[in-house]
Chain A
């Protein structure tokens, strides 16, 4: 259980995290999602006591991280797989961490076996690939057999096999009743791993929702219609309770009807809240000719981008908004 109340973190004049409150429950994988620079890592650093919040507080199991009597036994964390000294053998790296929390030596060999690094235990970490480094980082998080696990972008640099392995591991850890917090900037990755979603953008909480709910609300179907009588059909659909937006040939640039979006075509509309059969019947009943009638399903990735569109920190010049 991780609980944050009104967390604020500033770096100079930049507000990295702004009034963030959440509670992360055990027994499930919570995906911490947001674009680059949204404040995910900063938030995790505050949970782990590396950064002090300017305001607010965060506790793990009811206690501030610095007050935990045996931190590694309660929280396992992987922030940065490169946060180790390359001159040290993998096994010694884990051993010095184990010793600091009174964890017996045999557990070191155990976690090396779990992450599949027992064969390179005596190799110095600087010769490790990014994927092996990631596995070593995960091994250190598992050392204390903790009830809470925090992983920052754990699949970075992993091959498909490694990604699958991490995904399965997260699910297994959550299934054992542990609290698992995993950050990512990839919705597609979270869709396969997380039960619950915490979405942040520009340091603010945008959504705190179960994965199922997010999928349900975002995979809402819409209907793309091209018709010479689009304006008339729009009025009829609104009367029938549906939502109508001006459409365009490229579906991504959906804007309100009134918007002066140059990309909108006057004869194209997007209708939500009514299926394609409903729209077709309505058009037929009023003698409106349809030249296109296409049911459209938004992907999770698009739903996520739509959600965080306003809060993307670094945006390519001329990117469609």
Chain B
């Protein structure tokens, strides 16, 4: 066995090799992402729940439309209703994003990764970019399919939306953008907290628990929280109807992106400074 040649080139001819680039690291992270089974399952859940849940909620609310109050009919947002599945799909994206980096810590793979790529900022950037890219593609597919399925179920029972209507393309494409921002947030949170359970719990708190607590607060507290809470603010991008005490779609998404950037900066700094 040891008779086999170890060297590809022989020690004296080793001189010529090119430097490792960010593109190499991107490719490496892509191989990592596609070579574990959890990726496939989490993305399948995202697609199935995103479309199926959107369809169920679209059909149910359209059916109830006739009995709506005048106020409820005025705020009827067929686009937003068809995107309801995003609320569940985001759980799969958040969990997968957290696991993409924190499972490297729990397994010890992170040491192997950082020996291969000691410029640590590259690892975080490549991981975030690869996962954001995959999420963007999957997210847009889910949101557009959910829109078409949802509108088909709504039409005939209630006013439905078309892509040509004002704000509709922004709202549907916005679902994918919202998931993409969430993907980066999840990877960064996983890098900061390192323990999968802790990082998943933190993401669930950001997505569901804290907004739920805000509902119990008096209006003077509740309104600024729902207005500026990053994931709530970012979610405005997926609605056509603009409800009171919420930010406009793009400023709302901007607030979310600033939050993501802050968490990412913390992750970058900690990854760079901490012993691995």
Which residues of A pack against B, CB within 8 Å? 45, 48-52, 65-66, 68-73, 75, 77, 79-80, 82-89, 92-93, 95-97, 99-102, 107, 110, 113-114, 116, 140, 142, 144-145, 147, 165, 168-169, 172-173, 176-178
Can you give 14 A-B contacts (C-beta < 8 A)? A51-B276, A52-B275, A66-B119, A69-B20, A72-B115, A73-B17, A87-B38, A88-B35, A93-B35, A97-B28, A100-B25, A100-B117, A147-B14, A178-B11
Which chain B residue has the least Cβ–Cβ distance from A150?
B115
In the bound complex, residues from chain A placing their C-beta under 8 Å from that of B7 are 145, 176
In the bound complex, residues from chain B placing their C-beta under 8 Å from that of A70 are 17-20
Which residues of B pack against A, CB within 8 Å? 1-2, 4-12, 14, 17-21, 24-25, 27-32, 35-38, 103-104, 107-119, 273, 275-276
Most chain A CB within 10 A, of B32, B104, B117, is at: B32
Q: Evaluate contact between A79 and B115: CB separation under 8 angstroms.
A: yes
In the bound complex, residues from chain B placing their C-beta under 8 Å from that of A75 are 115
Known: A49-B118, A50-B111, A68-B118. Contact between A172 and B6, CB under 8 A? yes
In the bound complex, residues from chain B placing their C-beta under 8 Å from that of A80 are 108, 111
Which chain A residue has the least Cβ–Cβ distance from B120?
A66
Bound-state CA distance A65–B8 (Å) is 23
In the bound complex, residues from chain B placing their C-beta under 8 Å from that of A89 are 35
Q: Evaluate contact between B25 and A96: CB separation under 8 angstroms.
A: no
Known: A70-B18, A71-B20, A71-B115. Contact between A99 and B6, CB under 8 A? no
Q: Evaluate contact between B35 and A102: CB separation under 8 angstroms.
A: no
- Could you say which of A66, A83, A142 contacts B118, with CB atoms under 8 Å apart? A66
B273 CB to nearest A CB, Å: 8
Bound-state CA distance A7–B110 (Å) is 24
- Could you say which of A68, A97, A169 contacts B112, with CB atoms under 8 Å apart? A97
In the bound complex, residues from chain B placing their C-beta under 8 Å from that of A177 are 11-12
- Could you say which of B1, B24, B111 contacts A102, with CB atoms under 8 Å apart? B24
B144 CB to nearest A CB, Å: 31
Q: Evaluate contact between A72 and B116: CB separation under 8 angstroms.
A: yes
Q: Evaluate contact between B108 and A96: CB separation under 8 angstroms.
A: no
In the bound complex, residues from chain B placing their C-beta under 8 Å from that of A86 are 107
B10 CB to nearest A CB, Å: 8
A66 CB to nearest B CB, Å: 4
In the bound complex, residues from chain B placing their C-beta under 8 Å from that of A92 are 31, 35
Known: A70-B20, A99-B27, A101-B20. Contact between A147 and B11, CB under 8 A? yes
